[in-house]
Amino acid sequence: MNQTTLPSITVTDSIVGRARRSPALRHLRIAADPPERIRRAVGPDGVCVLTFDRPGSTANVFDRPTLLELDTHLAFLEEHAGLKGLILTSAKPAIFIAGADLHALGEFPAAPGALPPGLPELIELGQRVFNRLAALPVPKIAAIHGACLGGGYELALACDLRLASDDKATKIGLPETQLGILPAWGGSTRLPRLIGLPKALEVILAGKVLPAKAAWKRCLVDDLAPREKLVELARERLFAGTARPHRKSHWFINNPLAAQLIAARARSQLWLRTRGHYPAVLKALDVAANGLGRPLCESLAEEREAVLELAGTESTRNLMRLFLLQERAKKLVGSGHAATGVVSQREAARPVTRAAVIGAGVMGAGIAQWLTSHGVQVVLCDINADAVGRGLAKVAELYLAGLKRHWFTALEVRQGLDRVFPAVGEPPLTNVDFVIEAAVERMDLKLAIFRSLAARVGPETILATNTSALSVSELADATPCPERVLGLHFFNPVHRMQLIEVARGERTHPEAVARAVRFVQQIGKLPVVVRDRPGFIVNRILVPYLIEAGHLFEQGARIVDIDEAMLDFGMPMGPLRLIDEIGVDVAHHVANTLVGHFSPRLTMPPVLEHMLKAGQLGRKNDHGFYLHHGKRPVPHGELRMFQTGNEAARLDRAALRERLVLPMVNEAARCLAEGVAESAADIDFAMVMGAGFAPFRGGPLRYADSVGVEEIVARMKRLAELAGERFAPCEWLERVAGEGGRIYAEADLKRSDRKGAAP
């Protein structure tokens, strides 16, 4: 019998089968083999297909057992005399291999520089197995459908050819630098040799994830095919002798001298962009460039050393935690109480197919476009035809911009626009699942809208407001169904910001919150559940920061010094530039609302009112703290007329930074003490994802722990003596400092994990 036709039966399989058939052996306790993660099939033509199919999961990931199982299959294939080729594929509907299983590493140890148990061994094992695959003396093809990321793409790089489906689900990339590490299973070594150092650096340093067509254009994959023809095409390539294609030589740019020149230029650009806060990109640059002048084994050794060095840094720990919080948000179940009298279990379980958006302005149009791009039919309503027309034009503009950037195909644009149904006035909405109100931030207007909506929707429709600062509970009390009223606070621009604050009012039913969380996940956003308190989490913490920036400017600090101080801290833009981007009028309105709740510790900086009176609204009319006429905004010198003192002119950037950061830490601590969120992790997650708080610092509360709560409180007290009581630490923070504790207590971490656990 030919070896390729032998049945795949192990000794254990045989014993288990006999035990099940034989009454005499049924009393034996026989341990069955663990479920296989990779299926092996060797056909009569000598081609082996390894199919990754992690049991009980929608995703394939690499952990130690999967790597060992792959190693076992490779050992079998090394001894297979009739083997003609190998094809790697996946049985998952939207995942090839999503990378390493970070959950398997567990929590990083508290000690600085300490590594998760088993990380060094995991890195070494992955390199050894992928080297074994690369050395297999037959053509090897990765037939990729779905997400092929990190270690999944490094597996593909160890093959001779990479074929990808042209499906929208297929994404290719090496996102490790976004996690504070680098590709260390051969990606930093093999990709530059495959496509040349400059193109490889564009992918590795940015942590880019590309759709299939873009990946093909950059030569990350060799060909595209429909999903159903991938394995067939791979077989054709094997027998046509094109599984090991002749590749273009990259010697001119990959020789050691050219590589170092390219690296030097890239290093200076990276330093300007990251200000040294993200060591992973600089380390990845060095490894990729240095590896071109070394044997493969030496370059892989440098990968190992680099990733282990990075894994011990605080910035990597925080970026890893942020990733795990993002994954947690995708599985968050909200409140799991039974749906008594609010929505039926059947209604709660089904996806949202129809929604209405009330208000066709910038936010309403952005929400409508996002929902329709995710398959939801949307009734877009406003008070008159002109307003609806402008909203439809904005939706179309967003779709066309996405088409230009290859986010959508022309067919998807047409389908998305076909899901928008314009409506003027107050149409009946009995057949919609969700109504999202996105009108102007005026309580009287919103109250009138909600009173009207309550009479026009079905008995199970959820009524949501997109307010960023007004009371959800007050709106709910204006309706006969307060248990179905909540907040869904989208951030602007909707198509770029991942976070949505799900605000539960005082009378919102838990099942309504759970249903809203599922809806947020359905449309590809990340939910954080918050209590109905002024500003929720993000604006509550962000407004004191923006207000303090206004006060510093009035007291003589230069625009460029205020903003550069926070860029040095790691924020994506400075606070005054952020006010311009938000709009001076919008920032003033939200700040004024919170000042009304939290005066006297919050006071409105008069500069914002002066700018409003002068018609200086920020980017929307090119005049704000900056002039936005050219390619780069420049500070608006004429605003000096609004400065009323020079106390802050003497402050250096470090002092400015402290006056801007500490109010955020203080307000975040107040939010935690008041129960605005259920955990410190929720608050930090919201601030990073919703306000751009420096990700590598982990959020304002994680930052406070890294500095030390006692030190943070001492700095606040010194500032309160120098600059006013607004800097005085809150009572809860003082208590934690007095006890010598940390904000992230062990109980808080356990509670956070429990709340985010999948059912």
Residue pLDDT, tens place only, 364-421: 999 999 999 999 999 999 999 999 999 999 999 999 999 998 888 899 999 999 999 9
Cα separation, 425 vs 359, in Å, equals 10
Residue 90: HSE in the Cβ half-sphere, 13 Å Cα cutoff: 31
- Chain centroid offset of residue 249 CA: 37
Per-residue pLDDT at 258: 86
Token pair for residue 371? Answer: 């929902």
Q: Which of 512, 390, 492 lies closest to 502, judged by CA? A: 512
Which residues, given as ranges, of the chain have pLDDT below 50?
1-32, 336-346, 746-747, 749-759
- Residue length, the chain? 759
Phi first, then psi: give them for residue 48, nearest 5 degrees. -100, 135
Q: Do residues 163 and 243 make contact, with C-beta atoms less than 8 angstroms apart?
A: no
Judged on CB neighbours under 10 Å (0-12, 13-18, 19+), 730 is buried
Strands 377-382 and 354-358: parallel
Quickly name the fold that domain 538-755 has.
N-(1-d-carboxylethyl)-l-norvaline Dehydrogenase; domain 2 (1.10.1040)
Cα separation, 722 vs 61, in Å, equals 54
Cα separation, 579 vs 591, in Å, equals 11
- Please enumerate in sequence order all residues whose Cβ is within 8 A of that of 471, keeping only pairs 6 or more positions apart, or say none: 443, 505, 532, 534
Q: Residues 489, 509, 551, 588: which is the catalytic one? A: 489
Token pair for residue 453? Answer: 């909506």
Per-residue pLDDT at 344: 43
- Range(s) of the chain covered by CATH 3.40.50.720: 345-531
Token pair for residue 223? Answer: 């060909």
Paired with 526 in beta bridges are 499
- Domain 345-531 architecture: 3-Layer(aba) Sandwich (3.40)
Query: Three-state SS for 186?
Result: coil
- The pTM of this model reads 0.88
Let me know the angle formed at the C-alpha of 294 by 290 and 298, rounded to the nearest 5 degrees: 95
pLDDT tens per residue across span 455-469: 999 999 999 999 988
- Range(s) of the chain covered by CATH 1.10.1040.50: 538-755
Per-residue pLDDT at 186: 97
Phi first, then psi: give them for residue 632, nearest 5 degrees. -120, 135
Q: Which of 698, 679, 678, 680 lies closest to 688, judged by CA? A: 698
Residue 145 annotated as catalytic: no
Q: CATH classification of 34-312, choosing from 3.40.50.1480, 3.40.50.720, 3.30.1490.190, 3.90.226.10? A: 3.90.226.10
Question: Which DSSP category does 429 fall into?
Answer: B
Question: Which DSSP category does 33 fall into?
Answer: P
- Range(s) of the chain covered by CATH 3.90.226.10: 34-312
SS (H, E, C) 474-534: HHHHCCCCHHHEEEEEECCCCCCCCEEEEEECCCCCHHHHHHHHHHHHHCCCEEEEEECCC
Cα separation, 336 vs 453, in Å, equals 27
Question: Which DSSP category does 36 fall into?
Answer: P
